[in-house]
């Protein structure tokens, strides 16, 4: 009984420590300073910032999604074969920058809509 309880506890901790997929990471609100800077942008600057942030978010998202997949494999291997593998899961270290980029992107897109800016390229992510 103690072994089963320990196993359930270890698996629960490991699953909670797994990295999240990019799509499941929510945007965080940006600071008032960043919002003021973005509000001062003209349409060209907004579109350029959107393209830059989109590309940066796509690259960070690929890394985060890879970590999430690796963590799931580590947990499966740890549970099935070798419990110490659970100590090597990455966790959500990369989630904060992604959430911040998503927040910036939302603010930029909000300003683009307010200023009726025309978007030249589709979003990458």
Q: How far is CA 95 from CA 7, 72, 111, 113, in A?
A: 27, 16, 25, 27
Average pLDDT over residues 49-55: 94
What is residue 18's DSSP assignment? S
Instruction: Quote the pLDDT of residue 9.
Output: 45
Reported as a single tens digit per residue, the pLDDT across 5-15 is 555 545 554 44
Mean model confidence pLDDT for the chain? 76
pLDDT band of 93, cuts 50, 70, 90: low
**Both tokens assigned to 30:** 């940006």
User: What is the pLDDT confidence band of residue 98, given thresholds at 50, 70 and 90?
Assistant: confident
The answer to whether residues 125 and 58 touch, using CB atoms and an 8 Å cutoff, is: yes
| CA neighbor of 53 nearest in space, from 118, 98, 114 | 98
> What is the secondary structure of 60-90 as a DSSP string?
HHHHHHHHHHHHHHHHHHHHHT-GGGGGG--
Mean pLDDT of 67-85: 56
Query: Which long-range CB contacts under 8 A does 92-95 form with residues at least 24 apart?
Result: 92/19, 92/20, 93/19, 94/19, 94/60, 94/63, 94/64, 94/67, 95/19, 95/20, 95/25, 95/64
Answer yes or no: are the C-beta atoms of 94 and 67 closer than 8 Å: yes
């Amino acid at each position: 009984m103690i072994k089963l309880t320990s196993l359930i506890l270890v698996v629960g901790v490991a699953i909670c420590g797994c990295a999240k997929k990019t799509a499941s990471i929510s945007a965080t609100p940006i600071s008032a300073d960043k919002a003021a800077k973005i509000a001062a942008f003209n349409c060209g600057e907004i579109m350029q910032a959107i393209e830059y942030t989109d590309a940066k978010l796509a690259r960070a998202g690929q890394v985060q999604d890879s970590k999430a997949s690796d963590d799931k494999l580590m947990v499966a291997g740890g549970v099935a074969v070798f419990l110490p593998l659970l100590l090597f899961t990455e966790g959500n270290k990369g989630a904060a920058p992604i959430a911040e980029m998503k927040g910036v992107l939302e603010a930029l897109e909000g300003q683009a809509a307010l200023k009726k800016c025309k978007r030249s390229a589709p979003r990458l992510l």
